[in-house]
A and B are shown apart, each in its own frame.
Chain A
Amino acid sequence: QQPVQSPQAVILREGEDAVINCSSSKALYSVHWYRQKHGEAPVFLMILLKGGEQKGHEKISASFNEKKQQSSLYLTASQLSYSGTYFCGTENTGNQFYFGTGTSLTVIP
C-alpha cells in the first residue's frame, strides 16, 4: 500500500526541470509532498485534496489525478537548494497514511 515514486533518483543541473511521480493502488483522499534534506526533518511543500486540483508554490507545483490515483510534483528552473529527498504522502479514503518510496534529487552547478 506504500505509494511508488519514480524516478528513484535524479541529477539535474541548475536551471533544469524535473518531474517526480507518485502512484498509489488505493483510492486517495489527499496527497502531500515533502522535501527532506540529509539529517533534517521533512519539510511540508504542499497538500492536494481530492478533486483533481493543481497547486503551485514558487517554482514548485503539483497535480493530483484522483481517478488514476496519481500525483506529480513539478520543479522548474531548479536551484541548488532543491536538492534533497522528496516524499509523497498519501491518505486513502480509509484514513490510512503512507509515505512514498522517496526520490533523491541532486542539483549540481
Chain B
Amino acid sequence: KAGVTQTPRYLIKTRGQQVTLSCSPISGHRSVSWYQQTPGQGLQFLFEYFSETQRNKGNFPGRFSGRQFSNSRSEMNVSTLELGDSALYLCASSMVDRGSGEQYFGPGTRLTVT
C-alpha cells in the first residue's frame, strides 16, 4: 500500500508570495491533518479535514487555509508569506477521524521563505 505523499518536497519562496502544498493520503483514508514543525515551536497542528469538511483548526492566522477534495487529497495554502512561515509542513492521514485512529505521516514539504 502506498504511503502518504507530499509535493513538492522542497520549496523556496519570497516574502509576500503565496504557496500551495499538496498531500495525497493513503488509499481509503478519509482524514487528513496538517502540521507545521519548526525548531523553536516544535510540532503544531494546523487543521484537519475529514470527508471534505474542516473538522477543526489550530491557532494559526487566516493566511493559512486548506481544503480537501472528494478523493481525500488535500491542499494547504499560505498567502502573503512571512519569514516565520519557513518550516517543515507535514500532513498525516488516518482512516477515521484523527482523535480515534492511527495517523501516518508523509515526508513533509520543506518551505523556505526569503
Instruction: Please report which residues of chain B, range 84-114, place their CB below 8 angstroms from some CB of chain A when the two chains form the complex.
Output: 90, 92, 98-108
Contact at A30–B99, with CB atoms within 8 Å? yes
Interface of B is mostly: strand
> Hey, what's the 0/1 contact readout for B44-81 against A, CB within 8 Å counting as 1?
11001000000110100000000000000000000000
What's the Cα separation between A2 and B44 when bound, in Å? 9
Interface of A is mostly: strand
Question: Does chain B have a CB within 8 A of A97?
Answer: yes
Q: Which of B45, B58, B99, B107 has the most CB of A within 10 A?
A: B99
> Out of B42, B55, B58, which one reaches A102, CB within 8 Å?
B42
Interchain nearest-CB distance for A46 vs B (Å): 8
Q: A41-B90, A99-B42, A99-B45 are in contact. Are A91 and B104 (CB under 8 A)?
A: no
Residues of A within 8 A of B108 (CB): 41
What's the Cα separation between A26 and B90 when bound, in Å? 25
Identify the closest chain A residue to B105 (Cβ): A41
Residues of B within 8 A of A98 (CB): 44-45
Interchain nearest-CB distance for B35 vs A (Å): 8
Interface range on chain A (Cβ under 8 Å from partner):
20 to 34
Question: Does chain A have a CB within 8 A of B33?
Answer: yes
> Out of B56, B105, B106, which one reaches A96, CB within 8 Å?
B56
Residues of A within 8 A of B58 (CB): 96-97
Q: Which of B43, B90, B92 has the most CB of A within 10 A?
A: B43
Contact at A43–B105, with CB atoms within 8 Å? yes
Residues of B within 8 A of A49 (CB): 100
Contact at B104–A44, with CB atoms within 8 Å? yes
- The 23 listed contacts between A and B (C-beta, < 8 Å) are A30-B99, A41-B90, A41-B107, A41-B108, A42-B90, A42-B92, A43-B105, A44-B102, A44-B103, A47-B101, A47-B102, A49-B100, A91-B98, A95-B55, A95-B99, A96-B58, A97-B33, A97-B98, A99-B35, A99-B42, A99-B44, A102-B42, A102-B43
B residues whose Cβ falls under 8 Å from a Cβ of A:
33, 35, 42-45, 48, 55-56, 58, 90, 92, 98-108
